[in-house]
Amino acid sequence: MSGSYDPHDPFFRRAKAEGYLARSIYKLQEIDQRYHLLRAGMTVVDLGAAPGSWTQYLLQKVGPTGKVIALDPQPILIQAPNLIVLQMDIFSDETEKLADKHSVDGVISDMAPSTSGQRIVDQARSADLVARTLALAEIWIRPGGFWIAKLLEGPALSTLLSQARALFTQVHILRPKATRKGSTECFLIGKKRKPL
């Protein structure tokens, strides 16, 4: 991704100094601090986890009694006793069987599509990724659980919000401070999965 390693970016410098694999850690940290999602002992699925900065944060928050399932077609660069790393595509049929039904506390995604340079195409690809995370969230998340997904904002936003509201009691949109200037990305957050 061009521009990912701007040495003048304070979030990039901070991530390097604090031992995180990517500056995106601070987006998840802000979401968690604002909405109070993560606690010790939770089981959380991290979709599109590579290189692993969100996974690093999750492992800190869920602690040794929790579990993180990190999934990405690319290698994930960290290891931990309570981390399950799966190198696979989220659209694979096998993905749905990775966790037992209604067995996880949260599903998170910082996934972005391979960009084409055409805004409408990229927005549509991003929306497809978010829709897939919601479908997996519906299978995996237990009542009371949460969901976070990155979206390149576009025409599908209202449809995705409606789908999220059908599943979660509270739905929010946030553009974290660590989001790059000029980016159309935002994060959709679902809190308190409705009873089954």
Q: Is 78 exposed, middle or buried (0-12, 13-18, 19+ CB in 10 A)?
A: middle
Q: Is 51 exposed, middle or buried (0-12, 13-18, 19+ CB in 10 A)?
A: middle
Residue with tokens 């690809």, as numbered in its chain: 125
Q: Write the pLDDT tens digit of every residue in 80-107.
A: 999 999 999 999 989 998 889 999 999 9
Distance of CA 137 to the CA centre of its chain: 11
Give which of 124, 121, 125, 176 is closest to 148, Cα–Cα: 176
Q: Write the pLDDT tens digit of every residue in 46-84.
A: 999 998 889 999 999 999 999 999 999 999 888 999 999
pLDDT at 101: 93
Question: What domains sit in the chain, N to C, each tagged with a CATH number?
Answer: 10-193 (3.40.50.150)
Q: Are the C-beta atoms of residues 150 and 46 closer than 8 Å to each other?
A: no
Q: Are the C-beta atoms of residues 64 and 41 closer than 8 Å to each other?
A: no
Say which residues have a Cβ less than 8 Å from residue 61's Cβ, sequence separation at least 6.
32, 38, 39, 40, 42
What value does the mean pLDDT of the chain take? Answer: 89
CA 194, CA 84: separation in Å to the nearest integer?
27
Q: Write the pLDDT tens digit of every residue in 16-56.
A: 666 555 557 788 999 999 999 999 999 999 999 998 889 99
Task: List residues with catalytic annotation.
Answer: 150
Phi-psi region of 182 (alpha: psi -120 to 50; beta: other; left: phi over 0): left
CA 69, CA 44: separation in Å to the nearest integer?
6
